[in-house]
Structure 1
Amino acid sequence: MFLLSKLLGFATDPATVFLLLILLGGLMTLSRRWLSLGRKVLGVTLLTVTFMAVVPLEYWAETWMEARFRAPNPLPEKVDGIIVLGGAINPVVSEARGQVSVGGGVTRMTTLIPLAKRYPEARLVFSGGSGSPFNPELREADYAKIFYDDLGFDTDRIVFERDSRNTRENATLSKELMQPRPGETWLLITSAGHMPRSVGCFRAVGWPVVPIPVDYYTTGLDKPWWTELRFSPQKGIFGLAPLIHEGLGLVMYRLMGWTDTLLPKP
């Protein structure tokens, strides 16, 4: 399933799909037999790219996804544990450069620090192994420990789960390590767009969590739709990638019985 998910992710990457369609259409126009169809493939592809470049469908869909779960306000008075999901660190680059390499999802990791100080008795777990089929020995949790050490945070407080390869395994392996008890309050920190699938996975293994969404991609502001029109092929194409990733993840996880519903809600 792990390798299948990686292959499916490559096959559904928007940039790859559009490039292949353009190449296919171009090759078809070289043949008299397929000339007409090739022109249609090229025309539809270019029109689709242009439409996506102007109309921010991916942004509107991501706004809706990110608004699915909100952090409680105020936060719970008592918290028994805090879970941080990996995804912010690139283990391959970190190993090659000799320093921790983080991406835009680093707020997943930094959000833990003030929460851990607010709840000094809470148990902490960072869950993140290797998401690469080519470098399975490089585990994100190992570099997460270095990251927190560099910030001066007491890593003795954190349990580092280093074997998970996807969100399902984040839930199952973290539960095995932490052994949460019924009635306990656990916070779950991950990206806002990833929160629905994450909450669904934890619920499916019998571990209810309180969502703490971070790493927002959208502003969430309610503005007239025409003010958000733009011309950016890069945003239109590449902005679809995380949305498709989460959408396919929700469908596949539900089919596998790894979430409690297709689109988890509060």
Structure 2
Amino acid sequence: MPPIFFTIQAGVATITLNRPDKLNSFNREMALLLQEKLEECAAAPAIRCVLITGAGKGFCAGQDLAEVIDPNGPGMQRILSEHYNPIISHIRNMPKPVVAAVNGVAAGAGANIALACDIVVAAQSASFIQAFSKLGLIPDSGGTYTLPRLIGWQKASAIMMLGDKIPATLAEQWGMIYKVFSDDEFGVESNKIADTLSQMPTKGLAFTKHALSYSMTNSLEEQLLLEDELQQKAASTHDFNEGIQAFLEKRAPHFKGE
């Protein structure tokens, strides 16, 4: 079986991590294939939203440790520089929304890949674990950047140092993720979010994503200038004109992602 399932339907590309017997932990093959699929999603105009989920009981248990200790394996430095860092960059630079549909445990790099996505939803039975400290490692895959910005320094520090298992419901309460659905409703509801995003003004969403990313480091003055720049670009799109016309004509808009 391929380590990733990839489907496109009605503007939504679904990437399913597919090593269920290993809780979808990453090896080099899966990491490189995920990068390839993310590049494909970024380049294809017909794809207007990306949904990442996992096969079986888990979302992603992080790195397959058998590969780490393999003397013929890529080694830790290449695992970070060639696997995880490019994955996070692809997600954050994707000019369209990326939804993480966390169907089960998300641990280590798996948790931080999910948290790098624009919208994170989870099944009620899912959980998030910063498992690095129990191996003598530090959180990677952007975790030390993303998590404190989501839930604050104190909670992020405690989670990362203690390696606590955070249930999905608590992750939602803390603002770590957007929403939790019951296990029965999870598949339908997460797909509904992706479907909705795929019908929205894609370029406007990309500009919003860009602005949010820079807001983490910009001063207020720098952010106001960026908003000015991006708003001018958004106002020149087909979808802005369509939205205005639809409003004036009192009809539902038909956005093209252009």
TM-score by length of 2: 0.25
Q: Which has the higher contact order (CA 8 A, sep 6+)?
A: 1
Computing the radius of gyration from Cα coordinates, the structure with the larger value is: 1
Higher strand share: 2
